[in-house]
Structure 1
Amino acid sequence: MRLVIARCSVDYAGRLSAHLPLATRLLVVKADGSVLVHSDSLSYKPLNWMSPPCTLATADPDAEQAAAGVVEVWTVTHKKTEDRLVVSIHEVLHDSAHDLGVDPGLQKDGVESHLQALLAEQIELLGDGYRLVRREYMTAIGPVDILATDASGSSVAVELKRRGDIDGVEQLTRYLELMNRDPLLAPVTGVFAAQEIKPQARTLAEDRGIRCVVLDYDAMKGVDSGRPTLF
């Protein structure tokens, strides 16, 4: 990745035309060929950019550009659309290149698979006497996140979501309807568990006899979330 801080103006020519007047900006040239123009605002969003596949060519300014103070011209051309991003550089304040290597990608914390693993280990969070039967209990219409038994030994189907909405309740309802046809499992009750449950989802679940449980992911990991809780 190449990082250039420069006083520059930028012109985009293509399906739309745009002009950025002379100012100090950050120019990012990535290994994938993309070029981004950033200011010290707008958070992560660039002012303008060119996505790959594209080529970057640098050239000396012509006489008119040089007279206006331009010292170098970047022309970024998209290989398919032929759109062009022209960066007229007046002064380079910083120029560095860095090899970032292969990025492993974003690893999300608190996804449903993590919640499932933690709840399987801490099944007692659902109530005294609960026992884990298995994770990913397969049915004809898909896997139930957790199959457990309650203190009386009755089967309990648990559906896990990071944010519980009506679709999750509907999904658990379909599982329960199918599982209650199995004489080896019936009667099967349902638990809808999530880090956050929307009011409409809670209302629908309780109307269908499904119990709702809000999970504290940080507490399950053994991390103090810093949020006060009342039990």
Structure 2
Amino acid sequence: MRLVIARCAVDYSGRLNAHLPPATRVLMHKGDGSLLVHSDGGSYKPLNWMSPPCSLTTEEPGEDEASAGVVEVWRVTHKKTGDALRVQIYEVLHDSNHDLGIDPGLQKDGVEADLQRLLAEQVDLISEGATLVRREFPTAIGPVDLMVRDAGGAAIAVEVKRRGDIDGVEQLTRYLELLGRDPHLAPVTGVFAAQEIKPQARVLAEDRGIRCLVLDYEDMKGIESGAPRLF
């Protein structure tokens, strides 16, 4: 990645035209070929940019540009659309290259797999005295997230979502219909567990005899970690 801090003006031409008058900005030329123009405000969003596939070439400034103080011109052209980003550089304050290597990607905390794992370790949240039968309990149309038995031995199928909507309730309903045909499990009740359950989903679940369980992910992590807690 090349990072350049420069006093520059930027013109975008193509499907739309846009102009940034001279000012000090950060020019970020990434390894994928893209160019992003940032100011000191606006959070993460660039003022203008060109996404790959594109190519960057440098040009000598024209006579009028040179007389106005332009020392270098960058032209970034999109290879498919022909859109162009033209950067007039008046002064370079910083110019550096950095090899960032291969990024491993974003690892999200609090995804459904984390919720499922934590709930499997804390099945008392589902029913006091419950025991875990299996995670990813198989059915003919795919696995239900958790199968547990309550203190009396009755089977409970649990579907875990980050945000519970109507589709999740429909999914659990289909699982319950299939699981209820198994004489070793029947009767099977259902629990729809999520960090947030939409009102329409709650109404549908309760109409079908499915219990809703709202999960407090931060609290569940605290129980798992064993870290001292003040409250």
Name the TM-score, length of structure 2 as normaliser.
Answer: 0.93
Cα deviation, residue 39, structure 1:
1.6
| AA of the residue aligned to 1:208 | R
**Which residue does 1:184 correspond to in 2?**
184
Report percent identity of matched pairs.
73
Unaligned segments of structure 2, at least 5 residues = none
Secondary structure class of the residue paired with 2:220: helix
Which residue is 1:94 aligned to? Answer: 94
Aligned twin of 1:8: 8
1: CA distance between counterparts of 2:105 and 2:129? Answer: 40
Show the counterpart of 2:72.
72
Runs of at least 4 residues off by over 3 Å: none
| In structure 1, distance between residues paired with 2:207 and 2:151 | 23
Q: CA deviation at 1:31?
A: 0.6
Q: Which residue of 2 aligns with 1:39?
A: 39
Aligned residue pairs, count? 227
Q: In structure 2, how many angstroms separate the alpha carbons of the residues matched to 1:217 and 1:97?
A: 41
CA distance in 1, matches of 2:79, 2:141: 46
CA distance in 2, matches of 1:195, 1:16: 42
Cα separation, 2, equivalents of 1:208 and 1:82: 56
Equivalent-residue separation in structure 1 for 2:194 and 2:15 (angstroms)? 45
User: Equivalent residue for 2:55?
Assistant: 55
Residue by residue, what CA displacement relative to the aligned partner does 1:111-160 show, whole Å, maximum 9, x if unpaired? Answer: 11111111111112212121111011111111100011111111100000
- Quote the Cα distance in structure 2 between the aligned partners of 1:113 and 1:193: 13
CA offset at residue 6 of structure 1?
A: 1.2
Using the alignment, how far apart are the partners of 2:84 and 2:199 within structure 1? 50
Deviation sequence 1:51-109 (CA, Å, 0-9, x none):
11211111221211111111110011122222211000111122222111110000011
Normalising by structure 1, we get a TM-score of: 0.93
1:17-68 Cα shifts (integer Å, max 9, x gaps): 2211111111100011100111222222211111112111112212111111
Letter in 2 for 1:5: I
Q: Does residue 1:137 correspond to 2:137, yes or no?
A: yes
User: Aligned partners of 1:159 and 1:91: how far apart in 2?
Assistant: 59
Rounded Cα–Cα distance in structure 2 between residues aligned with 1:213 and 1:82: 53
For the residue of structure 1 that corresponds to 2:69, the secondary structure is coil
Q: Match for 1:63: what amino acid?
A: E
Question: Which residue in 1 is equivalent to 2:84?
Answer: 84
Q: Secondary structure at the match of 2:90?
A: strand
Amino acid at match of 1:146: L
1:161, distance to aligned residue in structure 2 (A): 0.4
Aligned to 1:115: 115
Once the two structures are TM-superposed, the CA of residue 13 in structure 1 deviates from its matched residue by: 1.6
